[in-house]
Amino acid sequence: MPILRRNGVSATVLVQAAPSEAETRYLFDLARAHPFVAGVIGWVEFEDPLVEHRIADLIKAGGGILKGLRPMIQDIVDPEWVSRPELDTAFEAMCRHDLVFDALVRPIHLPALRVRLQRHAHLRAVLDHAAKPEIKTGGLNRWAGEMEAIARESQVYCKLSGLLTEAGSAQAPKDIEPYVEQVFACFGPDRILWGSDWPVLNAVGEYSDWLRISREMIERFAKGALYDVLARNAMRVYGLKVAGA
């Protein structure tokens, strides 16, 4: 997830792609090797009885690099998984350590996610990929209602990313326009942060296409908020220190 200065990319946050602590530790190594990496969103087994210790160990291993955790909820069969009481220990540990919860969900998971966020009022959270609306099948209305509810009932941020991937094409930005409009209507420019969805994005288009389309739509739906969405909001929610940003 790049953090963009007015004159280009100045930093990025690496986000986990595999349900593995080993991958998270590998991302720590990349961050140490490349100063432009400002933070890592990692993974831990939320259902492990020793999850508190696992989180503490990752924080120690990261040496300040770990900014949040992301269970891969989109791949979990149970749509209620995120609201299970046995996960309370993991979320309470995240609150104590001031880690951000990145919610990789689909629309079917949003009701349970609302329950989780209401249970932990102090949990900082980011809704990844605008909850992956079903753009190919025209799933706007139900998704829009759920997004309005979760934005109203919690302080969750929303990541403006992944929409071209869900649409299946970078050649028809009009297909994603009503979804982008709804995101801005629900969350406002202060609770939206931009993401690249790279390298998954490569299946449908180019990074430069998505950045150009994003800039145009941000200016359309939140004129004057370009820098907030492209940089400032991410720095605030993840607690990033980015030189020159």
Residue 116, burial from CB neighbour count under 10 angstroms (0-12, 13-18, 19+): buried
Residue 105 in domain: yes
Q: pLDDT per residue over 92-137, tens digit each? A: 999 999 999 999 999 999 999 999 999 998 999 999 999 999 998 8
Residue 176 in domain: yes
Is the full-model pTM beyond 0.75? Answer: yes
Q: If we measure between CA atoms, which residue out of 96, 159, 86 comes closest to residue 123?
A: 96
- Mean pLDDT over the full length of the chain: 94
Residue 38, burial from CB neighbour count under 10 angstroms (0-12, 13-18, 19+): buried
Residue 245 in domain: no
Residue 244 in domain: no
Residue 191 in domain: yes
Q: Is pLDDT above 60 for 90?
A: yes
State the pLDDT at residue 133.
96
Angle at CA of residue 118, ends 117 and 124, nearest 5°? 40
Residue 42 in domain: yes
Domain that holds residue 118: 2-238
Tally of domains within the chain: 1
Here the tokens at position 92 are 């309470």
Q: Is pLDDT above 70 for 242?
A: yes
Q: pLDDT per residue over 189-237, tens digit each? A: 999 999 999 999 999 989 999 999 999 999 999 999 999 999 999 999 9
Residue 122 in domain: yes
Q: What are the CB-based long-range contacts (under 8 Å, 24+) for 27-36?
A: 28/61, 28/62, 28/63, 28/65, 28/66, 31/62, 31/65, 32/65, 36/9, 36/10, 36/11, 36/12
Here the tokens at position 237 are 């929610």
Q: Is pLDDT above 80 for 72?
A: yes
Cross-strand bridge partners of residue 160: 194
Contact call for residues 69 and 95 (beta carbons, < 8 A): no
Residue 243 in domain: no
Q: Residue 139: helix, strand or coil by DSSP?
A: coil
Q: Which CATH number does the domain housing residue 120 bear? A: 3.20.20.140
